[in-house]
């Protein structure tokens, strides 16, 4: 399976994608636990059905030491006992921030309060940016039908 198009083939879109990838690298420097960032990236990608991003974030998380059990349970995090309360709050924020069309009022105050209980303002900003970034990356990959399976850990970092 091949992608429909190569964003890097045209100068303008290639430049835009390079800036987007640069933003993703900058988020790695945010004061957010790396495991939380990967779990968020994986969950957003699962919701959106982005094979390329699921492939990437599963492999990057595993390479960074994430356990197979936790990776397998991200899709069912509500019923899993392997996540901390802080991670659960971040996953809930990611879900509501991704499913904006499904939840007309957007992110609920209760969800925000649970996240704010575990993360300071700088970390909350990083969470919101990570959720928005992943949704953008997912959409680019899904529209172009970017396949998953060939990613090598750390390939874009």
Q: What is the pLDDT, as a whole number, of residue 10?
A: 87
Is it the case that residue 118 has pLDDT exceeding 80? yes
119-128 per-position pLDDT tens digit: 999 999 999 9
- Contact predicate 7/140, CB 8 Å: yes
- For tokens 């879109």, what's the residue? 13
Question: Would you list the domain boundaries of the chain?
Answer: 31-143
- For tokens 């890097």, what's the residue? 8
Task: Answer with the residue of higher pLDDT: 106 or 120.
Answer: 120
Report the percent of the chain where pLDDT is more than 70.
Answer: 98
6-62 per-position pLDDT tens digit: 888 888 988 999 999 899 889 989 999 999 999 999 999 999 999 999 999 999 999
Torsion of CA 24, 25, 28, 31, to 10 degrees: -80
Q: What is the pLDDT, as a whole number, of residue 131?
A: 97
31-143 architecture in CATH?
Up-down Bundle (1.20)
């Amino acid at each position: 399976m091949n992608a429909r198009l190569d964003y890097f083939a045209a100068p303008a879109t290639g430049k835009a994608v390079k800036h987007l990838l640069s933003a993703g690298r900058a988020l790695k420097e945010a004061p957010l636990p790396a495991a939380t960032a990967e779990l968020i990236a994986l969950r957003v990608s699962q919701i959106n059905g982005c094979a390329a991003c699921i492939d990437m974030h599963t492999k990057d998380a595993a390479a960074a030491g994430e356990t197979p059990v936790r990776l397998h349970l991200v899709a069912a995090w509500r019923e899993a006992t392997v996540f901390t309360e802080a991670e659960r709050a971040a996953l809930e924020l990611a879900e509501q921030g991704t499913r904006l069309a499904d939840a007309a009022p957007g992110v609920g105050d209760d969800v925000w309060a649970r996240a704010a209980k575990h993360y300071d303002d700088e970390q909350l900003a990083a969470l919101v940016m990570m959720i928005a970034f992943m949704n953008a990356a997912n959409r680019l990959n899904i529209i172009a039908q970017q396949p998953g399976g060939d990613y090598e850990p750390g390939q874009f970092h």
